[in-house]
Amino acid sequence: MSNLETISFSFCQVSDLNLDSNVSLSLHLSPTQRAERRSEALKALAECLKLARELAVDAVFLPGNLFDADQSSSKSISELQAIFADLQKIPIFVCAGARDPLFNDSFYDELALQAHGLNPWPKNVHIFPETRSKTFTIKSKSRTRISGFSLSKNNLQKPFAMPKNLDSDGIAFDILLQALPPHLIESENLQNTIEQELKTHSYSYCAFSGSANKLYFHSENNGLKAAASGSFSGQSEIESGPRVALFGKLSKQLSGEIELKIQEKEFDPRRIYSLNFELRSEAHARAQEELEKSIKECGARKEIDILVLHLSGSYPKEKERFQYKEELESEYFHLKLMDNSRPDYLESLSKQSVIEQAFVEKMNLLKISLPSDASAEERELIDDALYLGLEAISKGKVSVGDAD
């Protein structure tokens, strides 16, 4: 029997836009930069859906966290509505997630929209309720069934479970949209839990949300069965690197086999890059060169990207603290510097006073006396005490009697 394609279904999947979220405050962006990032996120979404229209996808999936329910304004919702309306006849399927859950005054509620002076969501936007009581079929794709349910403030803590498949007679593609609850996202068993659920269900494809970064889930035979596209626009350090939307196509062959192909496409013009860099006192002269090399290797683009730099290690005590902050700030869209480096008071014990040497010896004995099962935090606490004590002694903040 020929394996020629007989039926297909194409989609665009976007999630976790988290519009207006305060998460970006963790990057220490200025108010102007935050406003710019918000505009860029909306523009990126518009460009993504414009491509979806040009590609004539059969549907757009937004499986959760479109906006931040605690922070979003009427202006933001109005802008989203305008972007969605531009898709015209392409249906958009929306699940509410942990950041934008359903509740009585939610922007997903028609009466709440009226109270805020807003129009209803465009007719091509279909919002799932908090129970799996609603399924959709697309007129031009009558053999495709799309099901799902939203998170609400009442069910955020419920155990995760994928709903049972409905009767699949006459259905070529059975698709599920679902927002993953925070307790599952934070679990070490996330991947295994999802893939175990996939084994007991027969969905052709599942679109998930809630993950900061993209995730793919496979069936027993390693076939791709589900995906979370991750945050569409970078807002925090954990959302490092390119942010993507997924463009997928399901194809059913005459043999009955379903093939799924997915392409990742990036729309956010900026990326966040996080870099850990250890300073070494003995290599201080080469520090700037080595740092520039590390930044280049991590992929951060000058003038465009957001760089989060974590400094550790030590530098010569006669030198200033980190000397390249202003230079990096001028080279990148934004720099967040987390400087945990210290002056190297241990650089040359022979140059230290008797009291300093005695203090070092006592602190080292304390460190050696720690039990073998001592935590990393306990060991770091002694290192902190050593450096802070040496700094206090060297700057005359404590007397010889105090240090003894």
Transcribe 52-83 into DSSP letters: HHHTT-SEEEE-S-SB-TTT--HHHHHHHHHH
Residue identified by tokens 């990148």 is 332
For the chain (404 residues), the mean pLDDT of every run of 10, in chain order, is 68 96 90 94 97 96 95 94 93 96 93 95 94 76 87 88 81 92 93 92 94 91 89 94 97 84 97 94 86 95 96 81 88 94 67 67 76 80 73 65 50
- Whole-structure pTM value: 0.86
- Residue-level pLDDT at 364: 73
Instruction: In whole angstroms, give the CA distance from residue 226 to residue 375.
Output: 39
For 52: left if phi > 0, alpha if psi spans -120 to 50, otherwise beta; the answer is alpha
Looking at the DSSP assignment, which residues form a beta bridge with residue 224? 218
Task: Give the residue carrying structure tokens 């991947």.
Answer: 191
pLDDT of residue 5: 52
Tell me what pLDDT residue 314 has: 83
With contact defined as beta carbons under 8 Å apart, do 177 and 148 qualify?
A: yes
Tell me the Ramachandran region of residue 69: left when phi exceeds 0, alpha when psi lies from -120 to 50, beta otherwise: alpha
Residue with tokens 């306990």: 378
What's the length of the chain?
A: 404
Task: Please spell the DSSP secondary structure of 169-198, one letter per residue.
Answer: TT-SEEEEEEEPPHHHHT-TTHHHHHHHHH
262 φ/ψ angles, rounded to the nearest 5 degrees: -130, 135
Domain formed by 5-266, architecture: 4-Layer Sandwich (3.60)
Tell me the domain boundaries of the chain: 5-266, 271-344, 347-404
> In the prediction, which pLDDT does 385 show?
77
- β-strands 244-253, 258-266: how paired? antiparallel
Round to whole Å and give the CA distance between 68 and 21.
Answer: 5
Give the residues across from 259 on adjacent strands.
Answer: 251
Rounded-to-integer distance, Cα 71 and Cα 77, Å: 11
C-alpha closest to that of 12 among 47, 44, 48: 48
pLDDT of residue 137: 83
Amino acid identity of residue 152, one-letter, is: S
User: How far is the C-alpha of 294 from the C-alpha of 241, rounded, in Å?
Assistant: 15
Backbone angles phi, psi at 179, to 5 degrees: -85, 130
